[in-house]
Amino acid sequence: MNSTAETVPVISKVRLGRSTSSALIGGGIAIVAALAIMPYLLDERFFYHIAILVCFAAIGASSLHLIIRTGHVSLCHAAFIGVGAYVSANVVMKLGFPFVGGLVAGTLAAAGLGLMIGPVILRLTGKYFVLITFLFGEILRMVFVDWQSITGGANGLSGIPAPAPVFAEPKYFYALALLAATACVAVCGRILSSETGRFVNAIRESEQLTECVGVPVIRTKVMIFVIACGFAGFAGALIAHYARYISPPNFGPLESLNLVIMNVIGGMQTLVGPLLGAIFLVLVPEFLRGYVQLQHIMFGVILILVMAFLPAGVVGVKDWVARRMIPHDRRGEQ
């Protein structure tokens, strides 16, 4: 998580230039880092499993965050995760390549598909982009169901091997997943804090204005989209070789929506948002799981409350608390 710690505050200075925000983001990173080592302290297999799910979600949500920062909300990100998962599983199981081969092929396949459709659909903006990606995700899901020779159809693919025998143990797979997630988040952070990142922010605020000052808008958007889809494919390959069984519902519209929820719940303005959102969306249902038939109702109420009172996401919790609880004269100490 070190690299995250280095990159994210840079964005915050560029974006907001407020010391309170960097403190907030520092706090967010501290939470993330503490949670990252927690499974090793508890050393329980189930906690490793949950932590691995958080890592997968973090890769998916932070790569989607790249696209969201250009002002486009994609509702087919999980479908790209699926492309990576199915390609990697096939490359390893049918063509006999080692796991690394599958990982590379899955990443490239998803990125390649992103490159094919990106230039067409990225001409749309706002709600139209949301709608077209929703439909595209549905079509990909239908392909996963119908192309039975490659995807195993609705029954899915089972018996996918672990990356190496040692990684069949969640304890060791977690190290791999944590490394992958850290690397992915670091790259996302690096991109957002680079010159490209400033283009991205400019594009979100006004495409036409950005075009006028000579920034290649479409090319930048396609590049970001392709990178994000590549990361999705990368996550998909990891998921396939961790779960060792994949089927179409894992990559359907609900999962895509979940990745969007992570961004909105966490906060769409900074990279810490999707990370907090990923943790939130994996852990909260786990805490509620014991309330067998009430768990979904409680989860729904939490979604409503967070969105109603923290429209900027969990990242905004500090501002909200500051507004309500801390007297004016003490705010300077923050």
Among positions 3-32, residues that touch another protein (CB under 8 A) are 23-24, 26-27, 30-31
Report whether 257 contacts 82 (CB < 8 A). no
Distance CA 182, CA 107 (A): 17
Task: Establish if 268 lies at the interface with another protein (CB under 8 A).
Answer: yes
- Please give the Cα distance from 272 to 268 (Å, whole number): 9
The packing angle between helices 253-266 and 272-288, to 10°, is: 110
3-state secondary structure of 124: coil
**Does the footprint of another protein cover residue 109 (CB under 8 A)?**
no
CB of 194 closer than 8 Å to CB of 10: no
Beta-bridged to residue 158, according to DSSP, are 245
Residue 45 makes contact with another protein by CB under 8 A: yes
304 to each of 273, 307, 318, how far by Cα in Å?
18, 5, 19
Joined together, the tokens standing for residue 203 give: 């594009």
Give 115 or 303: the residue with its C-beta nearer to another protein. Answer: 303
Least distance from C-beta 331 to another protein, angstroms? 11
What binding mask, one character per residue, do residues 72-91 give for another protein by CB under 8 A, x or -? -x------------------
- Separation CA 91–CA 86 (nearest Å): 9
With respect to another protein, which residue has the nearer C-beta, 116 or 194? 116
User: Which residue lies nearer to another protein by CB, 17 or 289?
Assistant: 289
Minimal distance, residue 41 CB to another protein, in Å? 10
Distance from C-alpha of 230 to C-alpha of 41, rounded to nearest angstrom: 33
Query: Which residues lie across from 246 on neighbouring strands?
Result: 157
Residue window 122-161: x/- pattern of binding to another protein, with contact defined by CB under 8 A = -xx-xxx--xx-xxx-xx--x--xx-x----xxxx-xx--
Rounded to whole angstroms, how far apart are CA atoms 82 and 60? 11
Q: How far is the CB of 10 from another protein (least distance, A)?
A: 19
**Window 204-243: residues binding another protein (CB under 8 A):** 243
Please check whether residue 217 is in contact with residue 203, taking contact to mean a CB–CB distance below 8 angstroms. Answer: yes
The stretch among 38-46, 78-86, 91-99, 190-198 that binds another protein (CB under 8 A) is: 38-46
Complex with another protein: residue 76 or 187, whichever CB lies closer: 76
Q: Which of 96, 195, 213, 293 binds another protein (CB under 8 A)?
A: 293
For another protein, the closer of residues 152 and 230 by Cβ is: 152
Least spacing, CB of residue 233 vs another protein, in Å? 18
Of 16, 22, 40, 49, the one binding another protein (CB under 8 A) is 49
